[in-house]
Amino acid sequence: MGVEGGMKCVKFLVFFFNFIFWLCGIALIVLGILVQIELNNTLQITSVSASGAPIVILIVGVVVFFIAFFGCCGAWKENYCMVTTFAILLTVIFLVEIAAAIAGYIFKNQIKDALDVEIRKEMAQYNTSKEFREALDKLQRGYSCCGATNFTDWFEVPGFSPRSVPESCCKRNTTDCTKDPTPANVFKDGCVSQMEGWMKKHVVIVAGVALGIAFFELLGIIFACCLMKGIRSGYEVM
């Protein structure tokens, strides 16, 4: 038994939209990996709050990938049980994404606070840990920043003489500025604001992918329900 006529069209629409949904899952996986690599290359992350966002993106991408693959198989084989399970899982994922979006908006400031804590923690161990020193130097040069809030944060770090900063805070084409740092010869912006700016710039990509996925999820749920009804009715495939 199978589906025919209009239900055939619904069947292929379910398959098509699930294929797009599957590609969106891959996009989320790649995006999550790239953000995680960027954070790991600039900070020695020890806080769950700071590394949580890319991990959540990665997990959602993996879940989306497998659910979409499951939906494609169910639609192609016209398996009522698989299509029903797919529709239920997709509905749950859609509701979870809405809840996650609301929670992300409410707790967005915690990410900034977590970055501030991480950077200041590494600054405190700058002169005692080669790993933290290299990470911070790379961060400050890469983002053209100095300190957590600004370059004066270094004045309170153990091991530094009063009014001194690391060489990685110095702008290019300048003489030694470590002993006499000013906004003219060191990066004036703090690393927290610079990293926050980088994340805000890329959140547009995340939001775009998320909206695209939500759109295809809704279509997938609607078409899956139509296909379930068609399969259950027992129409024959022409």
Q: What is the mean pLDDT of each run of 10 residues along the chain (238 residues)?
A: 59 76 78 71 52 67 78 74 81 77 68 83 88 87 90 87 86 73 87 83 68 75 79 56
In a domain, 90, yes or no: yes
Q: Give the pLDDT score at 154.
A: 92
Answer yes or no: is 238 within a domain. no
Same domain, yes or no: 60 and 17: yes
Residues 187, 199 within the same domain: no
Split into its structural domains, the chain has a count of: 2
Are residues 139 and 224 both part of a single domain? no
pTM, entire model: 0.56
User: How distant, in Å, are the alpha carbons of 39, 69, 141, 178, 200 from that of 125?
Assistant: 19, 47, 18, 18, 28
CATH number at residue 127: 1.10.1450.10
Task: Show contacts of 194-203: CB within 8 Å, 24+ apart.
Answer: 194/143, 194/144, 194/145, 195/42, 195/115, 195/139, 195/143, 195/145, 196/112, 196/115, 198/38, 198/143, 199/111, 202/35
Q: Which domain holds residue 187?
A: 113-191
Distance, in Å, from the CA atom of 98 to the CA atom of 167, rounded to the nearest integer, reads: 45
User: Do 88 and 201 reside in the same domain of the chain?
Assistant: yes
Q: Do the domain assignments include residue 91?
A: yes
Do residues 60 and 163 both lie within one domain?
no
The answer to the question of residue 56 being in a domain is: yes
Same domain, residue pair 152 and 220:
no
φ/ψ (deg, to 5) at 219: -60, -40
Same domain? 141 vs 216:
no
Tell me if 1 is assigned to some domain: no
Q: Which pLDDT does position 197 carry in this prediction?
A: 81
Predicted pLDDT at 146: 93
Same domain, 142 and 56: no
Say whether both 139 and 171 belong to one domain. Answer: yes
Distance (Å, rounded) from C-alpha 107 to C-alpha 229? 41
Q: Are residues 135 and 39 in the same domain?
A: no
Q: Are residues 118 and 67 in the same domain?
A: no
Inside any domain, residue 160: yes
Q: 67 with 123, same domain? A: no
